[in-house]
């Protein structure tokens, strides 16, 4: 079974500062993918970044980067230069081919960016 853990309480971040959101996971599957999604107050799920378990380099997408530490089973999201529009819930998720591609989600981190 796959398990995603996000335990940080709600976070306040100063605009233009960087923020790191923690995510740890547990799986016995040898091949898996890790995702981060953003959910603003409007409710839609927005894909941010993906990391494959066999990828050698950490994924980056614009201001988003994923700090992947396979041995520690962690996949932290780093948002650089926070903007007011980054205020949202952020979800870490995992899937695996052995799991029929089902996405398993963590409980989310609330981020509020303050000017």
Partner 1 sequence: NAGVTQTPKFRVLKTGQSMTLLCAQDMNHEYMYWYRQDPGMGLRLIHYSVGEGTTAKGEVPDGYNVSRLKKQNFLLGLESAAPSQTSVYFCASSGQTGNTYGYTFGSGTRLTVV
β pairing state of 3-5 and 24-26: antiparallel
**In degrees, to the nearest 5, what angle opens at C-alpha 73 toward C-alphas 31 and 88?**
100
Fill in the per-residue mask, 44 to 83: x = in contact with partner 1 (CB under 8 A), - = not in contact.
xx-x--x-x-------------------------------
CA 54, 58, 60, 66 dihedral sign is: positive
**Which residues in 76-115 contact partner 1 (CB under 8 A)?**
91, 93, 95-97, 100-108
- Pick between residue 14 and residue 31 the one whose CB is nearest to partner 1: 31
3 lies in the site for partner 1, by CB under 8 A: no
Q: Tokens 């950490």 identify what position?
A: 58
Cβ atoms 98, 80 nearer than 8 A: no
Token reading at 15: 């605009």
43 binds partner 1 (CB under 8 A): yes
Does residue 36 interact with partner 1 by CB under 8 A? no
Strands 19-21 and 64-69: unpaired
Closest contact distance (angstroms) between CB of 90 and partner 1 is: 11
Interface residues with partner 1 (CB under 8 A) are 4, 6, 31-33, 35, 43-45, 47, 50, 52, 91, 93, 95-97, 100-108
């Amino acid at each position: 079974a796959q398990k995603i853990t996000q335990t940080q309480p709600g976070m306040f971040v100063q605009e233009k500062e960087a923020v790191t959101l923690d995510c740890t996971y547990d799986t016995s599957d040898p091949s898996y993918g890790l995702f981060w999604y953003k959910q603003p107050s409007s409710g839609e799920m927005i894909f941010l970044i993906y990391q494959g378990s066999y990828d050698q380099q950490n994924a980056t997408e614009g201001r988003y980067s994923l700090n992947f530490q396979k041995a520690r089973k962690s996949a932290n999201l780093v948002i650089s230069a926070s903007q007011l529009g980054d205020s949202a819930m952020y979800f870490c998720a995992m899937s695996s081919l052995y799991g029929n591609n089902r996405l398993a989600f963590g409980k989310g981190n609330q981020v509020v960016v303050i000017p």
